[in-house]
Structure 1
Amino acid sequence: MRSWGKSVDTMSSSSRSSQKENVSASRFGPKLCGYCNEFLSNLDLNFDQLNICGWVHSMDYHDIHKSARSGCQLCIVLRHDNTDPEDEHWHKAALGAYYKGRASIMMFLKSTSTTCYSAMYGQLSETISYPGTSRRQRVLDELDSIGAYHDLNYTPPKSTESQTAWELCDAWIKNCIKNHSRCKILHSASWYPTRLLYIGHFPTGYLDRDLSSFNVQLHLTQDKPPKGGYMTLSHSWGFIAFEMLKLTSETYEYRIKNGFSYIELPKTFQDAVRLSRFLRSDYIWIDSLCIIQGSEDDWIHESKAMVDVYRHSKCNIAATAAQGPTEGCFYPRDPTIVSPLEISLRLGGEEENPIPKKYLIVSDHSWHRSIEEAPLNKRAWVFQERILAPRQIHCAKDQLFWECNQTTACETFPFIFESHIEYSKGAAPLALNITSLDLTLSEMRKLRFCETRHDPFPGNFISYPQESSYSTYSNISRFDRTLAHLEGATIDEKIERLRRNIFLDWNNIISRYSSLELTYKTDRLVAIFGVASRVQEALKDMDIYVAGLWRSQLPWMLLWQIRISDTPPSYDCGPSWSWASFNRDVYFYAIPQPHDRVLINVDEAHDGHTVAKQGAASSHRISYLKLRCLLYKIEPDIAANSGKQSRTRFTTPTNPRLGFRPKSLHTDCTETDDYWHQAYIILVIGQHEENRLWGLLVRLCEEEPDCYRRTGMCWIDTEAEPNITEHVRGATDKDKA
């Protein structure tokens, strides 16, 4: 029996290499090389020892390439799953396994010289969302509904540019429109953008082969209302945006009369037109051809309507893998890497399990790598488009993916793919947060018409339904968790819980959005304004949007945090108290808890940044908050900090007994020599359950008296700092500045 706790190497390199290249049919199902045969045999015989990592003997990574070229199906998957096979860290690696119960085995290739590894999962076929094997009711329901539109025995073709793959897209859309209850509730009355591209459609079941003489018409919807729905396209403008085909003021009259010839469209636009025609959509909206580029007036008008352009579309086509308009939407691929690898195992050997069980081997990060890390989804504007669209086809490098408010799918799992349930690891995927927000907004819109009174701006003491701070890592959407708690709840209770969900989802979405790229940094607020408009529409008069934050949630949302930056904030992008003032990833750690005590009063909140970008371009970007608060002048305590202290202690010159040492302190920018010369702290929230006082670090503005700018945030352990805790506990509005 082979040992699993350490590396074993009993063969010479020449004999091992010869074994690897010998690929043949195996008792495990697929064609395998000798090395993979030995590895799976060890899995069968030693499964009881796999509660810890077990390694098969070390190997040369290039041998995987040789075996893959020879047809070993497991080596083909291993080679593809590794993101950088040429990295020297992979020259020596080990193939290991980790047993996670009889339903799941994790296989991973690990570098023997570093901590780098690449993981795949072997899931018992009956537990995974695959036709003919799954026993999960939700999967069976989805398969039953989509079976009317597509044969469940789907075999991926050699290219995503094929009739077989496009017929799957057609089935996704038809099934969603007809059977998805959660997508139906988002449907609203017909609405059309100012301009659309008329493309007509091709007879059912055929691909366009030659469109060289085809003309795309620029259609004014007010002159002649369209019939039927329209598609939209999300694409990257790339590094040669100035060369890309555009609608301009100079060409506008010509394009209205003559349109655009198909052959002058860049490859990505051509592919989107062909797929839209195949899906029987007569119209498509493409930003650069439907908004007059270079016209500030048209941009202001059309940018306000962006939320409706994507929200009312039939489906959004995303050129996910393309870095520019010339790359197209579709790609050739090896079908072997798309279909799940089926392997039959007798864990424990033939005597214990005489009947082998089928496991499906898939990558645990295919969605994340193909979608979230793809070139298109690193762009901030596209993030908004993805959230607003009711359904989306992602054109990735290796396969097509589907996303709507009820399901996600891909060609590997062609009818339903829920990686967060299949693998239950890490943070909830972005798709889950998007779905949660969309469904919560829809439910809120229904409830807001009920006769109910609701205080939009709670006072100093509030009580929220409590939710674990680890809920981000749940594999069930926040909306679904909430529904389970709303049985028998009153209208007020439902609204309050849904309202809380909206803000938690907003924080998660902004955390993701803040990491994305913008060509013009001053678009930081405008590129998310469409999503904010949807939230505002649902909340109606319950709340007010102010510079990326929500008025009722300011005590918590003001306490955002970024990694310290050498780059100063840009007050053209956002006020100092908004995350938008920094081009950095942002996080929200102060989550509302039951019985929080709010220590600030927001008397006025003026947002001049969002208004400036959405309307009068010449207006000054001035945003401010008028607060009544507990304000303390602070200075580093030189005597207390002269020793080796891990954290700075501060004194308050006006009241020396209130000195304190923050448990955690984060400055937004690298400190300058005079950083603490005009430093103050505003205590914002007291959280009894967490034993915390949250505060903002601010300093006086040099330009305007009695005005302050944010410079950081901190929290104080109330048990470790009793003096300032007692002072805050006894403070009243009369003590506020």
Structure 2
Amino acid sequence: MSASKSLRPRRQVSRTTTQARRKPCRLCHNLDSRGHTSSIYQTESAKGATSRLDLVLDSLSLSKTQSSTGAGCRFCGVLIVTLDAFFDNWRGSRQRVNVEIKEKESIKVGINGNRWRGQLAEIYAGSSASKAPWPTLGTAHHIPTDSGSDETFDFARRCIRDCLTNSKHVACKPPSISRHVLPKRLLDVGRVTAPIRLIDTQGRSFQYVTLSHCWGTGPLLTATKLNWQELASNIPFTSLPPLFQDAIIITRQLGLRYIWIDSLCIIQDSTRDWETESSKMGGIYENSYVTISATISGDSNTRCLMDRRKPIKITYENTTGREFAIRARNIADHHPNIKEGTPAKLMGPLTTRSWALQEHVLSTRILHYTATEVLFECRTSYRCECQPSRKQQPTTPSLIPKATAKRGEDNNALWAAWQHVIEQYSKRELTVPSDKLPAISGIASKIKDATRSAYVAGLWKDNLASDLLWSTTSPSSLIASPYALDTYRAPTFSWASLNTPISYYTPDEDERESFQSTITLLSSVIAHTGLNSLGTVSGASLKLRGPCMTAFLSSSQIDGVWEYTLLIKGTSAIRISHDCLLTRSGDTIASSLTGGSVRRANSADQLSEFNKASILYLGVARYDGWISGLVLGASERVPDAWERLGTFSAGMESFDKANEREITLI
């Protein structure tokens, strides 16, 4: 498609036609934020009253507004040319076109539907020096068409310099020497004429950059027992994968000499070295000068310094015959939302990876290389190339520091921050399934330092009732599995025991005040594997006292969907939120329950409906006349122990006959 598009009608415009066209288009309202029944006026602006209009247009109706001769609403024509350029196959999709119009600002255009999720186009006046084609259309900040341009590097340097020198960036200051974590190795890349090589830091402090990247599924240059001495001598630049080359270029452009890349700075086939260095990873990212986040790159062969798609030029002619240059470009819906308190929304392969979330949360400063522009976050502010002014907006690196700063008599803000991170983390993918707990251990270390609470395989003893009440969500992720794991990774009471997105019960203000734990932790046992005390486990258990009742669980399959129902004598049936698919336990179960119990199903199990299988349900917390808790099945692995099957919520009357009981969860 040609970059230049004309919206001039091919017939002579008469005075009568001109007068008619002065009336706003019923569909697009002439892309004017004023005078519509849905227009919103804000008077808080220092420049006076400003207006905003959000339109939702039918894509089929919009595509029919331009005739074969090119005649029709000029403003609808601007939308159509923009949609044709940036939204493939939008015509005939019967989706809703969302148009956000703000007075004296650019116009944002998006389409509903998974195909275009997170994608936006921006329409703006070509030059701030000339008259706008219509009064309410504004300009947009220039974004270079090359992420390796001098302009983009100047932007990156300016962001970092402002963070380092601004006295208000207290949270961005380096940690004390006692908390300073040193990487064992770094890549020395600072001089073009000198060899790139792996160095041993020998306990010395260096100013270095970190790289956050996807490893991908293909071959990757890594440090091993056999080649690390060779890497310590000379690594030819041309032998490095393209992404690593880009990371080195960025490091040099920032005026630094050293970079930490996990695959090269950790000896990958040494269990001891990997466990030691990976356990320090949170501190390594926190203490770095800046993290380069290769958000757009799916593996080390995909560069992050690349050409970006150029804006298109739309030639627009008004009713007097005067031509104007309008531009449209592809952008991402990435800006933080101050009202909702949400940070920048990033898109790209890296945002699906589990290890990368920890790197994002714990970095002090981070440069995100996305498909459309570079974004900068630190623990205090946010900037991007389309909005380069420093803004005090929510950022992901500020999540833990802000929660720590809010601590008063309790740690509620930190518990909420942890649960928010775990909800996001559970949606991400791992190349090595056993990394589930190690890949979040850096954040766990920060929470432990702040709260002094003990940690049990993803849960905190001082927030145990709330942490136990996680539940699985609808499978919205490619990683979601409806089955239990074939290999042990975590106890069943931990979210880490499954591959599926989870969420936590979030009480409102009134419920939070009445939320009260009904369980007492009597003891806990955890068996760690390796050197990371917050990492991999080979076993764990909790001994609790709390209100318990026996009941029956029944299953049914409706339209291919399995449902599980608690049958409690004297009360209505209660639908449970099951952790995964369930099946009746074997006949040899060591349990006093009649009729056998229930367990999590494995992928090899043949599922069938069951009726009145015996289970135990444990009340964990109560609030406003309700009680929530765990549905438990007798363990086949450990005698007299119980395994989690799901969660339930019910009125307090269902627990009238509950008895306090000591149980062991595994």
Q: How does 1:529-544 map to 2 (within 5 A)?
A: 529-540=441-452, 543-544=453-454
Q: How does 1:544-559 map to 2 (within 5 A)?
A: 544-559=454-469
Shift of 1:157: 2.2
Shift of 1:59: 1.0
- Is the Cα contact below 8 Å between 1:235 and 1:319 reproduced in 2? yes
Alignment of 1:495 with 2:408, yes or no, is yes
Alignment of 1:183 with 2:171, yes or no, is yes
Which position in structure 2 is the counterpart of 1:230? 208
- Is the Cα contact below 8 Å between 1:556 and 1:590 reproduced in 2? no
User: Relative to 1, partners in 2 of residues 1:359 and 1:437: Cα closer, same or farther, differing over 3 Å?
Assistant: farther
Q: How does 1:352-431 map to 2 (within 5 A)?
A: 365-367=333-335, 372-416=346-390
Shift of 1:525: 0.8
The 2-side partners of 1:288 and 1:311 are apart by 18
Residue 311 of structure 2: SS of its match in structure 1?
helix
Which position in structure 2 is the counterpart of 1:602? 521
Q: How does 1:266-665 map to 2 (within 5 A)?
A: 266-336=241-311, 365-367=333-335, 372-416=346-390, 432=395, 434-441=397-404, 443=405, 494-497=407-410, 499-540=411-452, 543-563=453-473, 566-569=482-485, 572-589=488-505, 591=507, 593-608=512-527, 611-615=528-532, 621-636=538-553, 648=565, 650-651=567-568, 656-657=569-570, 659-662=571-574, 664-665=575-576
Which position in structure 2 is the counterpart of 1:158? 145
2:176 corresponds to which letter in structure 1?
S
- Is the Cα contact below 8 Å between 1:370 and 1:396 reproduced in 2? no
Shift of 1:712: 0.6
Residue 175 of structure 1: SS of its match in structure 2?
helix
User: Relative to 1, partners in 2 of residues 1:164 and 1:389: Cα closer, same or farther, differing over 3 Å?
Assistant: same
Shift of 1:285: 0.5
Aligned residue pair count: 554
Residue 539 of structure 2: SS of its match in structure 1?
coil
1:685 corresponds to which letter in structure 2?
A
Alignment of 1:671 with 2:563, yes or no, is no
User: Relative to 1, partners in 2 of residues 1:231 and 1:21: Cα closer, same or farther, differing over 3 Å?
Assistant: farther
- Is the Cα contact below 8 Å between 2:526 and 2:537 reproduced in 1? no
Which position in structure 1 is the counterpart of 2:136? none
User: Relative to 1, partners in 2 of residues 1:246 and 1:76: Cα closer, same or farther, differing over 3 Å?
Assistant: farther
Residue 706 of structure 1: SS of its match in structure 2?
coil
The 1-side partners of 2:156 and 2:535 are apart by 45
User: Relative to 1, partners in 2 of residues 1:167 and 1:194: Cα closer, same or farther, differing over 3 Å?
Assistant: same
User: Relative to 1, partners in 2 of residues 1:507 and 1:333: Cα closer, same or farther, differing over 3 Å?
Assistant: same
User: Relative to 1, partners in 2 of residues 1:614 and 1:570: Cα closer, same or farther, differing over 3 Å?
Assistant: farther
Gaps of 5+ in 2: 11-21, 40-53, 72-76, 126-139, 319-325, 337-342, 475-480, 556-562, 586-597, 599-611
**C-alpha distance after superposition, 1:578-614 (max 9, x if no partner):** 0000110010015472133322111112233xx2154
- Is the Cα contact below 8 Å between 1:433 and 1:505 reproduced in 2? no
Gaps of 5+ in 1: 1-16, 23-33, 125-152, 202-210, 346-357, 422-430, 444-481, 483-493, 639-645
The 2-side partners of 1:171 and 1:115 are apart by 33
Percent identity, aligned pairs only, is: 23
Shift of 1:558: 0.6
Q: How does 1:82-231 map to 2 (within 5 A)?
A: 82=87, 85-86=88-89, 89-90=92-93, 97=99, 108=109, 155-179=142-166, 180-185=168-173, 187-189=175-177, 191-200=181-190, 215-222=195-202, 225-227=204-206, 229-231=207-209
Shift of 1:199: 1.6
The 1-side partners of 2:356 and 2:237 are apart by 24
The 1-side partners of 2:553 and 2:663 are apart by 23
- Is the Cα contact below 8 Å between 2:195 and 2:235 reproduced in 1? yes
User: Relative to 1, partners in 2 of residues 1:267 and 1:635: Cα closer, same or farther, differing over 3 Å?
Assistant: same
Shift of 1:306: 1.1
1:589 corresponds to which letter in structure 2?
Y
User: Relative to 1, partners in 2 of residues 1:370 and 1:533: Cα closer, same or farther, differing over 3 Å?
Assistant: closer
The 2-side partners of 1:680 and 1:521 are apart by 30
2:616 corresponds to which letter in structure 1?
Y
Which position in structure 1 is the counterpart of 2:558? none
The 2-side partners of 1:195 and 1:44 are apart by 58
User: Relative to 1, partners in 2 of residues 1:734 and 1:282: Cα closer, same or farther, differing over 3 Å?
Assistant: closer
The 1-side partners of 2:352 and 2:537 are apart by 30
Which position in structure 2 is the counterpart of 1:27? none
More helix by proportion, 1 or 2? 1
User: Relative to 1, partners in 2 of residues 1:323 and 1:99: Cα closer, same or farther, differing over 3 Å?
Assistant: closer
Task: Give the alignment's TM-score, normalised by structure 2.
Answer: 0.72
Shift of 1:631: 1.9
More strand by proportion, 1 or 2? 2
Which position in structure 2 is the counterpart of 1:251? 227
Between stretches 305-314 and 595-604, larger displacement belongs to 595-604
The 1-side partners of 2:489 and 2:98 are apart by 49
2:163 corresponds to which letter in structure 1?
C
2:375 corresponds to which letter in structure 1?
F
The 1-side partners of 2:551 and 2:162 are apart by 62
- Is the Cα contact below 8 Å between 2:550 and 2:615 reproduced in 1? yes
**C-alpha distance after superposition, 1:317-367 (max 9, x if no partner):** 011101111111111124538x9x9x9x9xxxxxxxxxxxx9999967145
The 2-side partners of 1:619 and 1:173 are apart by 36
The 2-side partners of 1:601 and 1:409 are apart by 47
The 2-side partners of 1:200 and 1:379 are apart by 29
**C-alpha distance after superposition, 1:142-173 (max 9, x if no partner):** xxxxxxxxxxx974322011111101100000
The 2-side partners of 1:618 and 1:551 are apart by 16
**C-alpha distance after superposition, 1:274-299 (max 9, x if no partner):** 11111111111111111111111111
The 2-side partners of 1:315 and 1:194 are apart by 18
- 2:217 pairs with 239, 254, 257, which one? 239
Between stretches 671-680 and 396-405, larger displacement belongs to 671-680
Shift of 1:37: 10
The 1-side partners of 2:535 and 2:362 are apart by 29
The 2-side partners of 1:21 and 1:238 are apart by 51
Which position in structure 2 is the counterpart of 1:713? 647
Alignment of 1:59 with 2:83, yes or no, is no
Residue 451 of structure 2: SS of its match in structure 1?
helix
User: Relative to 1, partners in 2 of residues 1:412 and 1:702: Cα closer, same or farther, differing over 3 Å?
Assistant: same
**C-alpha distance after superposition, 1:247-285 (max 9, x if no partner):** 1101122222x1311111111111111111111111111
The 2-side partners of 1:585 and 1:63 are apart by 48
The 2-side partners of 1:193 and 1:519 are apart by 23
User: Relative to 1, partners in 2 of residues 1:371 and 1:267: Cα closer, same or farther, differing over 3 Å?
Assistant: farther
The 2-side partners of 1:575 and 1:61 are apart by 60
Shift of 1:534: 1.1
Alignment of 1:684 with 2:595, yes or no, is no
- Is the Cα contact below 8 Å between 1:563 and 1:585 reproduced in 2? yes
